[in-house]
C-alpha cells in the first residue's frame, strides 16, 4: 500500500468520524457536537450525512486496489448518493420551512 493510499484512508476515517459525531450531536441534541464554538453556526444534519458518506467512500476507494476503480473513476454511484443526500432534500431549498427566522 502506498503512502498516498494510507493518507487517503486516514483522512476518510477522520471525515467519516466527524460526520458521525455531528449527527450524534443532532440526534441527542448536544450543542457542543453540532458546532466548534457556541457562537458559530452549526453544521446541519444533511451536511454531516454527506461528510459521513464521503468519508466512507474515500476510505473504501483508497483501501481497494487501484486497478479495480480505474475504469469507473468518472462515474460512481457513491457520488450520486452523496449528492442526493444533501441536494435531494427539498427542505434545503427553503430554510423558512424548518427554521424560526424565516
Q: What is the pLDDT of residues 12-35, one digit of tens each?
A: 999 999 999 999 999 999 989 998
Instruction: Report the pLDDT value the prediction gives residue 101, as an integer from 0 to 100.
Output: 47
d(CA 9, CA 44): 25
Residue range(s) defining the domain that contains residue 20: 9-63+77-89
Within a domain: residue 3? no
Q: Of all helices (H) and strands (E), which one includes residue 24?
A: helix 3-27
Within a domain: residue 31? yes
Instruction: Report the pLDDT value the prediction gives residue 102, as an integer from 0 to 100.
Output: 41
What's this model's pTM, rounded to 2 decimal places? 0.65
Residues 6+ apart with CB under 8 A from 48: 18, 19, 20, 22, 23, 26
Instruction: State how many domains the chain has.
Output: 1
Within a domain: residue 100? no
Within a domain: residue 38? yes
More confident position, 85 or 42 = 42
Rg (CA), the chain: 16
Within a domain: residue 4? no
Amino acid at each position: 500500500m502506498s503512502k498516498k493510499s494510507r493518507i487517503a484512508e486516514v483522512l476518510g476515517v477522520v471525515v467519516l468520524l466527524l460526520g458521525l459525531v455531528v449527527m450524534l450531536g443532532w440526534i441527542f441534541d448536544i450543542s457542543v457536537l453540532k458546532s466548534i464554538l457556541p457562537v458559530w453556526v452549526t453544521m446541519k444534519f444533511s451536511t454531516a450525512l454527506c461528510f459521513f458518506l464521503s468519508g466512507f467512500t474515500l476510505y473504501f476507494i483508497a483501501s481497494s486496489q487501484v486497478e479495480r476503480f480505474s475504469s469507473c473513476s468518472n462515474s460512481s454511484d457513491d457520488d450520486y448518493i452523496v449528492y442526493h443526500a444533501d441536494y435531494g432534500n427539498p427542505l434545503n431549498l427553503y430554510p423558512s420551512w424548518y427554521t424560526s427566522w424565516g
